[in-house]
Structure 1
Amino acid sequence: MTVDDRFSQPVDILKDPALGTRNEIITGPVADWTTDFSHTEPEWAADPYPIQDELRRTCPIAHTERFGGAWLPTRYEDVAGIAYDTERFSSRSIIVGNFRPPRDSAPVGGTPPISSDPPFHYDARKLLLPAFTKTAIARHEEATRAYCHSLIDALEGRDVVDAAHDYAQYIPTRVISDMLGFPPEDEPRFRGFVESALEGVNLPPDDRRARMSELFDYLVAQVRDHVAHPRDDLTSYLIDVELYGSKLQPAHVAGTMALLLVAGIDTTWSAIGASLWHLARTPADRERLVAEPALLPTAMEELLRAYAPVTMARLVKEDMSWNGVDMKADDWVLLSFPAANRDPAQFDRAGEVVLDRQVNRHAAFGLGIHRCVGSHLARMELRVALEVWLQRYPVFTLADPSAVTWATGQVRGPRTLPIRVG
């Protein structure tokens, strides 16, 4: 079969992995966070840390009947234990929603390698590593820096800017679309794709399927364009690369592209925005970074720890007792890396931002086999975004703290962030 033949027919990505088979209502006011938690609620999005801290003290592995049954560990040791335990927990779906993918979608899952279980995971992940080494990512830094300056140039003359909407969201969108070889004029569509994938988890089945179909239809169209016009980018690489002696199946290519696009945008967008939010509301930290720019790489790791944007999920493989709780097959488990990062048993002064923290083995990029393959990329984008912002806007504050809004769901970051500059 030629490459053209593989993509000449419709690619049915959504037959099961993204949507699954069970419908559960998951939204509504929380009565008790120990027995009825929901990470999709406004109060969790606005400030989850007091909730996580209280759970860690009183009920370190919370439970809910929402989502068809789910668990929320809040101690570092529990989050790490589950993240490393691929024998008892599956990654076939990493976004908690109102559906579970069927068990036969493992070990590949809908968006490999993050949705993949061993042994397939190792080989699928290995395919991506060359594109995300430090050396490979360094080649994107000059263009990223220039783009950050151009974004701030466009804000010239404004006293108040939305650092999330007008700055943070554009940076990873441009970088990952360049890496995938997508047209820059399509970038406004990507925000909608991100929100559908990560924030639309309780939409009716037909609505969610329609939104996800729009994403995958776009990706398949890009694949076909690359088949017709090959070039040196990540999409062409995925089309041509071989696994087990054969080129990748169309669903694997499109699923991996969806992962890179959605995860590559939202996680870094959120990390940049949260860092700027902290510096805008904490003058001493902002002034210190302006005065000591060499501290930024260390400070950046602390900001990642304190405001880790990502929570991943696993599915319990079989009924079992785990650390004192009785988990059922196909229960969700939310791996709250943000909660793990604020565990005082793991970090001194865990609830504080300590810019010069020297020992900082945080879990912002995950733990275990699914640790973020794009961590070098995210670090480069975050560092460059902050360097350029602090250079151009050494003085800035929150224009209206009450107007800041945060994304709901498993990737948390500012969605509106009005900042007064100058």
Structure 2
Amino acid sequence: MTVDDRFSQDFRGTGDDPPLGTRNEIVTGPVSDWATDFSHLEPEWAADPYPIQDELRQRCPIAHTDRFGGGWLPTRHEDVAAIAYDTERFSSRSIIMSNFRPPREVAPIGGSPPISSDPPFHHDARRLLLPAFTKTAVARREASTRALCHELIDGLAGQDVVDAARDYAQHIPMRVIADMLGFPPEDGPRFRQFIENALEGVNRPPEERMEGMEQLFDYLLVQIRDHVDHPRDDLTTYLIDAELYGRKLESSHVAGTMALLLIAGIDTTWSAIGASLWHLAKTPRDRERLVAEPELLPTAMEELLRAYAPVTMARLVKEDMRWNGVDMKADDWVLLSFPAANRDPEQFDRAGEVVIDREVNRHAAFGLGIHRCVGSHLARMELRIALEVWLERIPVFGLDDPAAVTWATGQVRGPRTLPIRIG
């Protein structure tokens, strides 16, 4: 079988929004009541979701919306955890709440295994990726990541104001993931386009989203062909050659996993680095302490992950049911807001504060349940190195204009523009 035979016939539409999905009208515009009409795409949610989540947790802990064809938003840690662990009643076949619901037939594999996979397939698909993300494997990338961070800061020399999101944070995971997959490092700007379409473009017409997904998978097919012709020691060649149940992975599995690593592996870490720098820029006390006590950084980093967890995941209800006092319908969305869970005062003391020396911190920034982030060691390494190098090279900095900071909409929240004044 040639590469074209294996990777062209069923390559299209292997993302989280396959063309066969059921279309649902998206209702946009101002929210009338967050308890009955929530929308994670509105500007006030992107700018500061925490007061909204806190108010819902007190008034209506499981909010509802008719947008996107119907969905739910639990805000208590207890409820988020219960759904995350309940694979019998909630499916992961689509993890992005949008105007498409992939047909039930895509389960248990889904479009982007293993994150879109249900048991029992999920376990085996996840196990394939584990060797690439162990602490030992990640440690081998630390030196090159540190060198990249220094290179990026060298490029900021002579500037009084820099965009820490666009000029620093985003480039770190882009380069790391490109190196892992064996993609050209100069393709970073294309990765940004793919990310924005997949994660921030869910309000666009379905035809535009499909066009964006086709561009992504066209790109992946080019990379796969190159790796088949020129195998090397990277994750793409590994996936092409990997076997499951005694045979090579389906082309859709390979492509979907590569898309997952490219998109989720970049945006989540980019957002975490940016949010951490934003906090330190606006909180001189914490910045000065970390500069004076660099050994505190690993502890502080976990608190920044808790307080500014970037990721919210979606699930789909499998069957009509009464769940914790609400009537959920089959194929309703459920948004698992790990940021909301991380700020539940029933779970964390001083939940709404950033306590950089917090010692007990079992946060959910990397998710809960079987889909807990397989790349957590990698993300932690990138975040730690990014902050270490920045604080070493730029110990004095602050927000140039707080009103100029913008945040991504959708399910991965982080600064998209972050003007920082140096010195």
How far off is 1:7 after superposition?
A: 2.9
Provide the aligned length of Structure 1 versus Structure 2: 422
- Tell whether the 8 Å contact from 1:14 to 1:213 is kept in structure 2 after alignment: no
2:155 counterpart residue number:
154
* Between 2-11 and 155-164, the greater mean CA deviation after superposition: 2-11
- Tell whether the 8 Å contact from 2:194 to 2:263 is kept in structure 1 after alignment: yes
Distance 1:187 1:15, change over 3 A: closer
Distance 1:159 1:16, change over 3 A: closer
Distance 1:5 1:113 in 2: 24
How far off is 1:27 after superposition?
A: 1.8
How far off is 1:13 after superposition?
A: 2.8
Alignment of 1:296-375 (within 5 A): 296-375=297-376
- Tell whether the 8 Å contact from 1:320 to 1:326 is kept in structure 2 after alignment: yes
How far off is 1:26 after superposition?
A: 3.3
Q: Secondary structure at the match of 2:23?
A: coil
Amino acid of the structure 1 residue aligned with 2:102: P
How far off is 1:196 after superposition?
A: 0.3
Q: Secondary structure at the match of 1:63?
A: strand
Unaligned runs of 5+ in 2: none
1:66 counterpart residue number:
67
Amino acid of the structure 2 residue aligned with 1:271: A
Distance 1:350 1:7, change over 3 A: same
How far off is 1:12 after superposition?
A: 2.5
Distance 1:266 1:278 in 2: 18
How far off is 1:6 after superposition?
A: 1.6
Amino acid of the structure 2 residue aligned with 1:7: F
1:18 counterpart residue number:
18
Q: Secondary structure at the match of 2:112?
A: coil
How far off is 1:4 after superposition?
A: 6.4
Q: Secondary structure at the match of 1:202?
A: coil
- CA offsets, 1:50-102, max 9 Å, x none? 00000000000000100100000000000000000000000000000011000
Distance 1:82 1:204, change over 3 A: same
Matched, 1:49 2:57: no
- Tell whether the 8 Å contact from 1:3 to 1:239 is kept in structure 2 after alignment: no
1:392 counterpart residue number:
393
- Tell whether the 8 Å contact from 1:26 to 1:38 is kept in structure 2 after alignment: no
Q: Secondary structure at the match of 2:260?
A: helix
Amino acid of the structure 2 residue aligned with 1:182: F
How far off is 1:183 after superposition?
A: 0.6
- CA offsets, 1:170-192, max 9 Å, x none? 00000000000001121111000
| TM-score, length of structure 2 as denominator length | 0.98
- CA offsets, 1:363-403, max 9 Å, x none? 00000000000000000000000000000000000000000
- Tell whether the 8 Å contact from 2:318 to 2:330 is kept in structure 1 after alignment: yes
2:381 counterpart residue number:
380
Distance 1:17 1:146 in 2: 37
Distance 1:121 1:229 in 2: 30
Distance 2:414 2:237 in 1: 31
Distance 2:42 2:281 in 1: 25
1:253 counterpart residue number:
254
Q: Secondary structure at the match of 1:7?
A: helix
Distance 1:127 1:107 in 2: 16
| TM-score, length of structure 1 as denominator length | 0.98
1:242 counterpart residue number:
243
Amino acid of the structure 1 residue aligned with 2:26: I
How far off is 1:305 after superposition?
A: 0.0
How far off is 1:8 after superposition?
A: 5.7
How far off is 1:2 after superposition?
A: 6.0
Give the alignment's Cα RMSD to 1 decimal.
Answer: 1.2
Amino acid of the structure 1 residue aligned with 2:157: E
Matched, 1:193 2:213: no
Distance 1:4 1:232 in 2: 22
Alignment of 1:262-281 (within 5 A): 262-281=263-282
How far off is 1:15 after superposition?
A: 8.9
- Tell whether the 8 Å contact from 2:15 to 2:112 is kept in structure 1 after alignment: no
Alignment of 1:20-35 (within 5 A): 20-35=21-36
Q: Secondary structure at the match of 2:101?
A: coil
- Tell whether the 8 Å contact from 2:16 to 2:112 is kept in structure 1 after alignment: no
- Tell whether the 8 Å contact from 1:342 to 1:350 is kept in structure 2 after alignment: yes
How far off is 1:162 after superposition?
A: 0.4
1:230 counterpart residue number:
231
Distance 2:396 2:8 in 1: 54
Distance 2:335 2:311 in 1: 10
* Between 76-85 and 216-225, the greater mean CA deviation after superposition: 216-225
- Tell whether the 8 Å contact from 1:16 to 1:102 is kept in structure 2 after alignment: no
Q: Secondary structure at the match of 2:365?
A: coil
Distance 2:120 2:27 in 1: 32
Percent pairwise identity: 82
Q: Secondary structure at the match of 1:13?
A: coil
How far off is 1:17 after superposition?
A: 4.7
Q: Which of structure 1's runs of 4+ aligned residues deviate more than 3 A? A: 1-5, 14-19
How far off is 1:10 after superposition?
A: 6.1
Distance 1:327 1:129 in 2: 34
